[in-house]
A = this chain, B = another copy of it.
Amino acid sequence: MILNVDLASEVPIYQQLRDRIVEAIAEGVLTQGSPLPATRALAADFGINFHTVNKAYDLLRQQGLIRLNRGTGAVVNPTAADPPFHTEWTARARTLLAEAIAKGLPADEVLATCRSVLDSFRTTQQEDTP
């Protein structure tokens, strides 16, 4: 698993780590039960402090995406989206979509981009399709 993190970015490192892992789950690179790298190992890979990785993992745990087990490490959780999540997510989507429309992008094109991204997730994940 390759996590593309930019240490010089204005986006906090722990947030980038969280985002890349969320994307890896969406892509199917990480599936239910997949182990995540140990916090200290991942921190060493990027040359950052393990507390920063810890913070990213803790965010993912709060969102219910992973489970942290002392001794054995972190693994991806079975997914479960509740109604409050859908509401909160839609509000964030609204802001992001508004930005594209406000900049003059046609709604058709914006929707096509979303479909394209969603398709890229679908084609990447090769679950059990015999």
Contacts and interface: CB of A to CB of B under 8 A. Distances in A.
Contact of A90 (B81, B117, B119): B117
Given A25-B98, A98-B22, A98-B23, A117 B93 contact: yes
Most chain B CB inside 10 Å of its own CB: which residue of A25, A85, A95: A95
Interface in A87-130: 89-90, 92-105, 107, 110-111, 113-115, 117-119, 121-122
Tell me how many chains of this kind the complex includes.
Answer: 2
Interface residues of A, number: 41
Nearest to A97: B117
A64 B93 CA distance: 21
A8 interface: no
